[in-house]
Amino acid sequence: MNILIIEATSKRKPLAEDYSDTSIVHCRNSLILKHALGADLLDGEYALPQVLAKQYDVIICAYASPYMPHVPYRQILEKNPKARYVWLVNDHDVEDNQLLRWGVINMGLVYDMICNNPREGYRHWILNKNIANRKLNDFIHKWLTVNLNSLIIDPERTPVNCSDKNGVIYYGTYRKWRAESFKKFLTRGVFLSASSKNWKKFQALGCDCNYMPKLEWQKNNEDLRKFKYSIYMEDEHTHTNYAFLANRFYEALMSDVVMLFDADCANTIQKCGYKIPENLIITNDKLKDGLVNYANSLAFQTNLMYQQLFFDKAVEEKNEAVSQIKKFLNVT
């Protein structure tokens, strides 16, 4: 079976296998699935000639963006009209993939979905969008709900040097549906790693924290390893729509960073299958003197040793996710 994964970008060279040139989760997942599925990965227009020289049985389109450069990639769809198409996305409010939309409108394609969220948990306004005089949802046939976030866990990671660890960090893009959590947690002494173009959005909320550039994610040399604690928060939608633990949980496990959970994530904490200690579930009363002061009152080494017990289960979750995806795609 020939499988193609498409990351529709304008890159001129392959994504680095050690993640040294990307912090983007879906790009890292595509690299992982390339090996797990024995697939080809098209991660830039530079490789179009090689891809167009082959026929594919399954074509997976990763993620989506209104600005993705999909026009050059239309040739792939035209050459593979009988392929099975799949949209792969680890979010709940990403609008439909532009390349697949073109295929729906111009070729009458239908496709399947691989997603962290069940169909009923995906944004209804997106699934109800008018595409070719029908709802987008009508063009999505089979839907696999699977823990894509666990794919990042690496059982071969090198040991972490814990002697120089310090500080509490939150990292990631600005998400408006986390605004209330940002206000509570991004206080004095906390480190916020985000694109500098988004700093003003956090500052407008009054986030008086230490701003720093985006983290680097090179394998076994991740910037996250430098910190003791990381903050787990989620969109308000996810409070009532379970979608597995986020990538940051598995990244923290690999980097020996103890995760501090926003108490508003109670539904996720209850359903995730991990027993999270009460002292790591941060309620408002624990924030009265600021998150950094509370974190400093914790026994880091004790909490880390407990969290390290989660690692084997996380690896099992990854293996199960790969198995489910292979079964869904009929990969032997």
CA–CA gap between residue 138 and residue 59 (Å, rounded)? 19
CA–CA gap between residue 49 and residue 190 (Å, rounded)? 47
Local structure of 192: helix, strand or coil: strand
Q: What pLDDT, on the 0 to 100 scale, is given for residue 59?
A: 98
What's the pLDDT band for 179 if we cut at 50, 70, 90?
Answer: very high
Local structure of 207: helix, strand or coil: coil
Is residue 222 within 8 Å of 167, Cβ to Cβ? no
pLDDT in tens, 126-142: 999 999 999 999 999 99
- Nearest residue to 150 (alpha-carbon basis) of 325, 328, 332: 325
Q: What are phi and psi of 266, to 5 degrees?
A: -55, -40
- Nearest residue to 115 (alpha-carbon basis) of 101, 132, 125, 127: 127
pLDDT in tens, 58-104: 999 998 887 788 899 999 999 999 999 999 999 888 899 999 999 99
pLDDT in tens, 314-329: 999 999 999 999 999 9
- Nearest residue to 282 (alpha-carbon basis) of 172, 170, 194: 170
Percentage of the chain beyond pLDDT 90 is: 90
CA–CA gap between residue 153 and residue 141 (Å, rounded)? 29
Tokens linked to 104 = 């729906």
For residue 331, pLDDT beyond 90:
yes
The per-residue pLDDT of the chain, averaged, comes to: 95
pLDDT in tens, 189-201: 999 999 999 999 9
Its pTM stands at: 0.95
- Nearest residue to 16 (alpha-carbon basis) of 4, 25, 27, 3: 27
Phi-psi label, residue 256: left if phi above 0, alpha if psi -120 to 50, beta otherwise:
left
Average pLDDT over residues 198-211: 96
